[in-house]
Amino acid sequence: MTSPSKICWTITDEFPGMKSQVIGLAEAIGFPTFHKTCKRKWPWGWLGLPFGNPLHQLTSTSDPLTPPWPDLIISCGRRSAPLALAIKKQSQGKTFCVHIQNPLFNLRAFDLIVSPEHDHLKGPNVISTKGAIHKVTLQKLQEGVEVFGSLFQSLPQPYSTVLIGGNTNRYSMTREAFDQIISHILFIRDKTKGGVLVTPSFRTPFRDVLTKALRGEPNIFLAEIEKVNPYFGMLGIADFIFVTDDSVNMVCEACFTGKPVYVFPLLNHQETKPKKFIEDLVQEGTVRMFQGGIETWTYDPFNDTAKIAALVREKMKL
């Protein structure tokens, strides 16, 4: 269902995980959407606080934020929050403002805050989600298999899809951890006697090492994401999914499928929010830590994106 008269802006900095969340929610709501990648100059961007007029503090490489103002803004991350509220102020409150994650300030100024349960954020305008908002849908999975299924048809079944993360603001993937991931990939191929579909992310280091290690290995498909990224096809066709434990987003996208999801524990990974989130999923039986065994099980897939989209439309009286 769409509302052609309504316009949405999504605002994030350059982090792909944040962009995936705002775009996913915007697509589910159904408005024509324009994404804005924005950074504020130092020190305002570093502080992440609404000092001065944030709209006058953008770097030269940022997308412009100028009127006419949109009907809806979806922002993500504390550095984008001041920009969203500045636009709401300039629009004299006409722009409906949704923020994903904890903005850390002026919570009541937002029309809606979408925060994962592990942030323990409370408030009359705060909606808690089980995990991260994302842009995976059943339709995209089906279309992905239709478009990219031919890339994998020469590989034997079952199909195991491996999602590799990488460096975050809390974790730097070591070469030792990366070598362990490569060992896991080859082990899965040999144990299942099936095909292994591997995709790195834009955060993944040692990409040349990955290519060299897997090039020429039988029954392995390695996605070249700069050229073509058959991500939805790889999720849709998978019998098993394996994902590194550095990203809540990737784990949530994997769990949307309802397929068995194994998590690779990374070395020297400190007690971070992603790790705690995954521990909770393990306890409830949704995912399992990879320890060499490969089995099937069932769980209830979760999809917070559709729920939040319906709530936004309701609050905007659509």
For 148, the token pair is 């990219």
What is the average per-residue pLDDT within 225-235? 92
Cβ proximity of 271 and 223 under 8 Å: no
Mean pLDDT of the chain: 93
pTM: 0.91
CATH class of 8-131+305-315: alpha beta
Best CA proximity match to 10, nearest among 262, 215, 25: 25
- Shared fold status for 8-131+305-315 and 138-289: yes
Does the N-terminal peptide bond of residue 274 adopt cis geometry, omega within 30 degrees of 0?
A: no
pLDDT of 166 strictly over 50: yes
Where are the chain's structural domains?
Answer: 8-131+305-315, 138-289
What pLDDT, on a 0 to 100 scale, did the predictor assign at position 32?
Answer: 96
What Cα–Cα distance (Å) separates residue 259 from each residue in 22, 52, 120, 287? 25, 48, 28, 9
| pLDDT at 268 (0 to 100) | 63
CB 38 within 8 A of CB 62: yes
**Contact present, 227 and 237 (Cβ < 8 Å):** no
**pLDDT at residue 2 is higher than 50:** no
Q: Is omega for the bond preceding 43 within 30 degrees of 0, making it cis? A: yes
Distance CA 114, CA 98 (A): 7
**167-220: per-residue pLDDT in tens?**
887 788 999 999 999 999 999 999 999 999 999 998 999 999 999 999 999 999
User: What pLDDT sits at residue 271?
Assistant: 64
| Strand boundaries in the chain, DSSP class E | 8-12, 33-37, 72-76, 96-100, 112-116, 126-129, 159-163, 195-199, 220-222, 240-244, 261-264, 288-289
What is the reported pLDDT for 47?
72
The domain 138-289 having CATH identifier 3.60.40.10: the answer here is no
